[in-house]
Amino acid sequence: MILVTGGAGFIGSNFVLDWLAATGEAVVNLDKLTYAGNVRNLAALEGDSRHTFVRGDIADRPLVEGLLADHRIRSVVHFAAESHVDRSIHGPADFVDTNIVGTFRLLEAVRSHWTALPAAEQQAFRFLHVSTDEVFGTLSPTDPPFAETNPYQPNSPYAASKAASDHLVRGHHHTYGVPVLTTNCSNNYGPWQFPEKLIPLVIANALAGKPLPIYGDGMQIRDWLYVGDHCAAIRRVLEAGRLGEVYCVGGASEKPNIEVVKTLCSILDAERPRSDGTSYATQITFVKDRPGHDRRYAIDARKIATELGWKPAETFETGLHRTVRWYLDHQDWVADVTSGGYRDWIAKHYG
Ligand code: NAD
Ligand code: DAU
């Protein structure tokens, strides 16, 4: 059995569903259910004895140690985090608490569990830390993409907190021998992404007739990866990654934000035309830039491709069409998560 942290969030819930479908191995899912966590994402698993959901904090060491021992956990996949850059600018403390202190406490619980295991189980045990390309900072238009050897240069409280967590994970491996693996992935998109992130926010605002906010000049570049491809990469690293190694994961799909938003508008124009016959692109509105906004991310994923044979199955075009259709078919989910707390956030951030 494996322990997944943050398995009610965007990538975590996709991962739990993907894992059970691909491997059938049981999962204990530990999630605090912050604003970003939603058990409705896992409704398809209701009554499925292979999925045990536990509401709790990764920083609660006795709870985590109990779960590790009671369920004889063989591996941990660690997604739980505060993940939204804009929220980290308004309130960085939660990012320090969960991403740094929480990860540290989780690592300590894992260390104590792992140390007490019989030799064969110790050898097989893995702690996979899910991290981000944002720890590497920003690229100029001509820089080569980020690779595993890039220096750390985080530029937001979110990125800094993830960088700190990566260092703690590395430290536990080199000092105590905890068998860790780290993945640094680029921007994900797909089902169940909370509509504060660019792609689901734009879909939701477009359908609601609201402005589509583009920060600054909209020429910031992100490397987009369909979430299902990220889940497959994590499964592969867990299965065959070399201990203590880092794997960069990306979609080889660099797009400026304005292009992403215009593509979304044209998909929506075809799938759900506006009643007045004009394009959703008329709703695009340029707004004040994000402070410390990284200009370009890109990933060189050759290591995971050559060592582990992973490559993305979706292109940006196929993945984006799937995603738009999913949001059109799941408007009830969007309505459910865009409750009072969400509306407060939008009012505070966009004014
Ligand atoms: P998310 O914000 O959608 O979900 C985070 C989940 O963690 C939520 O379910 C939340 O309730 C839970 N959580 C938060 N604090 C917790 C705590 N203290 N204890 C237990 N659970 C807690 O995030 P996401 O986009 O799914 O990202 C998941 C992970 O992947 C994060 O570590 C993030 O840094 C990393 N990542 C995300 C992306 C991306 O594009 N979204 C890309 C690369 C890496
Ligand atoms: O690169 C990986 C990271 O991708 C993950 O580590 C983070 O958890 C995840 O949130 C994501 O971070 P970004 O800041 O890149 O994602 P976001 O969707 O917030 O923004 C994508 C780009 O779109 C970014 O350049 C900012 C811009 N943007 C975003 C919003 C919400 C806008 O122009 N307008 C907006 O309203």
Q: H or E segment at 201?
A: helix 198-207
Domains annotated for the chain, with CATH where assigned, are: 2-289+296-345 (3.40.50.720)
Residue 179's pLDDT is 98
User: Tens-digit pLDDT profile for the chain (351 aa)?
Assistant: 999 999 999 999 999 999 999 999 999 999 999 999 999 999 999 999 999 999 999 999 999 999 999 999 999 999 999 999 999 999 999 999 999 999 999 999 999 999 999 999 999 999 999 999 999 999 999 999 999 999 999 999 999 999 999 999 999 999 999 999 999 999 999 999 999 999 999 999 999 999 999 999 999 999 999 999 999 999 999 999 999 999 999 999 999 999 999 999 999 999 999 999 999 999 999 999 999 999 999 999 999 999 999 999 999 999 999 999 999 999 999 998 988 787 888 889 998
Residue 339's pLDDT is 81
CA of 279 to the centre of ligand 1 (A): 33
Q: Is 85 in the pocket of ligand 1 (CB under 6 A)?
A: no
Cβ proximity of 158 and 135 under 8 Å: no
Radius of gyration of the chain (CA): 20
Based on the residue annotation, tell me whether 158 is a catalytic residue of this protein.
yes
Q: Quick one: which atom of ligand 2 is closest to the CA of 197?
A: 18
Residue 45's pLDDT is 97
- Token pair of 264 as six digits: 């979304």
What does the chain come to in residues? Answer: 351
Residue 343's pLDDT is 83
Q: Which residues contact 64 (CB under 8 A, 6 or more apart)?
A: 30, 56, 58, 105, 106, 109, 110
Based on the residue annotation, tell me whether 133 is a catalytic residue of this protein.
yes
Based on the residue annotation, tell me whether 166 is a catalytic residue of this protein.
no
**Three-state DSSP class for residue 289:** coil
Give φ, ψ of 315 to 5 degrees.
-90, 170
Question: Catalytic: which of 18, 82, 134, 254?
Answer: 134
**Residue 284, Cα to own-chain centre: how many angstroms?**
26
- Token pair of 122 as six digits: 């110790």
